[in-house]
Amino acid sequence: MKEPDEHSGPGRQERADAVDREMAARLLPGPAVRALGFWWEKNAAAYPDGTPGAHTIRYTPGRWAQISPWPGALAATSAGGDASVSRAEVASAVADALRRDAFREALVATYVWGKGKRGTPGGSGPSALDKILAFDGLDTVLAAAVTATREHGASQGYAALLGQVPGLGPAFFTKFLYFTGVAVPPAQGPRPLILDRVLARRLRQLAAAVGRASGHDADGSIAAWVWSDGNWSPHRYQVYLSFMHAATEQLTAGNSWPSGAAPGLLELALFTTDWDTSG
């Protein structure tokens, strides 16, 4: 399955494929490598094992009082003030939930982590999650996605979730896939990574520069189409994973990053790092 536009025409898809091939060959340009190198210099002490496990967010448990089931790894919703939770702690909570087939609990842990301080009482965070949890087929969909990821790979897990649960889009269900992949790695292919609007815009920036340089996308319209702000196809998600894993190897091979750095670290770095493609 290619991009989600039945009116795109073969020429447009061929140009998108050509830009993808150029990106895979060129990977990160010099300005991006330098910016990410600076990011590592500033953050090396925070992530000494080369993974984003220590990446911690703050959230307000009391704002999620309406949500059930509530993961035991998160602070009680009756607690006052703010709390914090790291990726490693969420990964552990998800692994525990999956051992019990508690798929909703795993989703809640990843959703609350993803929202962080943006979750407000009755607001888009808790109210949206409440509606997602009310979907009758949620357990079946989540279980199918976990199985598809484990047995067939990350893009198949992505396909199993895309458009299946009202209100649960890729920006949040890829967080579920990411933590699921940490707990239960796929039997084949790269592990899932988070893909949201910010990361898509970083890839759009790269694709537009490559498209201009190669002549496949002089005006950036192809980059804007394939790296839109949401609703990415399973094919696009696979392109994203392949690029991120290859770019991580590029950074480690060039000594910009430590040997053995995880692609999840690049996802985190790209989320917080921008650069000028002109250098």
- From 150, 183, 216, the end of a domain falls on 183
pLDDT at residue 256, as a whole number: 86
Tell me, yes or no, whether 219 lies in a domain: yes
How far apart are the C-alpha atoms of 73 and 77, rounded to whole Å?
12
Q: Does one domain contain both 74 and 173?
A: yes
pLDDT at residue 13, as a whole number: 92
- From 183, 218, 248, the end of a domain falls on 183
pLDDT at residue 6, as a whole number: 39
The predicted model scores a pTM of 0.94
pLDDT at residue 18, as a whole number: 96
pLDDT at residue 35, as a whole number: 94
pLDDT at residue 122, as a whole number: 47
pLDDT at residue 262, as a whole number: 96
Give Cα 37 distance to the centre of its chain. 21
Tell me, yes or no, whether 259 lies in a domain: yes
Q: Which two tokens stand for residue 191?
A: 């592990």
Cα angle 149, 161, 206; round to 5:
80
pLDDT at residue 43, as a whole number: 96
Provide block-wise average pLDDT over 10 residues at a time, the chain (279 residues).
56 94 96 95 96 96 94 92 96 97 97 82 76 97 97 97 96 97 92 96 96 95 95 96 97 93 97 73
Q: Does one domain contain both 80 and 168?
A: yes
How far apart are the C-alpha atoms of 70 and 104, rounded to whole Å?
9
Q: Does one domain contain both 179 and 216?
A: no
Tell me, yes or no, whether 48 lies in a domain: no
Give Cα 34 distance to the centre of its chain. 23
Size (the chain), residues: 279
How far apart are the C-alpha atoms of 145 and 159, rounded to whole Å?
8
Q: Does one domain contain both 139 and 212?
A: no
Q: Does one domain contain both 143 and 215?
A: no
Query: Rounded to the nearest 10 degrees, how much is the dihedral formed by the CA atoms of 23, 87, 252, 207?
Result: 10
How far apart are the C-alpha atoms of 1 and 21, rounded to whole Å?
17
Tell me, yes or no, whether 51 lies in a domain: no
Tell me, yes or no, whether 49 lies in a domain: no
Q: Does one domain contain both 37 and 156?
A: no
How far apart are the C-alpha atoms of 273 and 39, rounded to whole Å?
7
- From 129, 155, 183, the end of a domain falls on 183
List all residues 6 or more positions away from 198 whose beta carbon is below 8 Å from its beta carbon: 270, 271
Q: Does one domain contain both 144 and 253?
A: no
**Cα atoms found within 13 Å of the Cα of residue 68, Cβ hemisphere only:** 2
Q: Does one domain contain both 118 and 174?
A: yes
Tell me, yes or no, whether 3 lies in a domain: no
Could you tell me the residue range of the domain that residue 249 belongs to?
9-43+196-272
* Count of domains observed in the chain: 2
